[in-house]
Chains A and B, each alone.
Chain A
Amino acid sequence: RKEVEQDPGPFNVPEGATVAFNCTYSNSASQSFFWYRQDCRKEPKLLMSVYSSGNEDGRFTAQLNRASQYISLLIRDSKLSDSATYLCVVSAGGTSYGKLTFGQGTILTVHP
């Protein structure tokens, strides 16, 4: 089993749609959680951290359920510019602090 598993996608949605991505992680000792965005043939960039209380940044909402070891990302009112690969990322902390484990990524295409 992979340490971080994501919806395989791809997701193809029209502009204005709401889309949700899911992610599960296997290491119960994981401490920090993130969503990164990666555009085609570009480097990953941090989109947002994910907290147990849930957090929102504009059209993006991230949720963490530690009991279920589940992370989600919700994008509302999708824009063409949201088209990218979304990477679920986990850090175990402790002696593994800084060693990020990435999911395979979910491809999102937003069309007119």
Chain B
Amino acid sequence: GAGVSQSPSNKVTEKGKDVELRCDPISGHTALYWYRQRLGQGLEFLIYFQGNSAPDKSGLPSDRFSAERTGESVSTLTIQRTQQEDSAVYLCASSLEYSADTQYFGPGTRLTVL
């Protein structure tokens, strides 16, 4: 079946602009996660959605970052007033509710802030 998809695959923006990144999880996966990977670094957890529960936003680095999820489907990660340090690959993952530790990743969106 189809895996996790993300769009756009690449995004170049100017400092100060807002960007929206999209994630389509695997059908039937109730849990959805966003991570960030800076060049040469490990993945950093950003936010976690599980069903209708309040999302775990503990990894969001600042109030410029926000994310929404529509039901158990698409999620968007929004970064307002982008800064150069926001440049990274943003990875989305999804999982079944009771296998939250087994996550399937999308190909990521490479964000470059000039």
Residues on A facing B (Cβ under 8 Å): 4, 32, 34, 42-46, 49, 87, 91, 97-105
Contacts and interface: CB of A to CB of B under 8 A. Distances in A.
B45 A43 contact: no
A99 B48 contact: yes
B56 interface: yes
A43 B59 contact: no
Interface residues of B, number: 25
Contact of A32 (B35, B91, B101): B101
Contacts of B44: 102
**Chain A facing B: main interface SS:** strand
B100 to A, nearest CB: 3
28 contacts: A34-B101, A43-B91, A43-B107, A43-B108, A44-B43, A44-B105, A45-B105, A46-B104, A49-B102, A87-B42, A87-B43, A91-B100, A97-B100, A97-B101, A98-B31, A98-B48, A98-B50, A98-B100, A98-B103, A99-B45, A99-B56, A99-B58, A100-B45, A102-B35, A102-B43, A104-B40, A104-B42, A105-B42
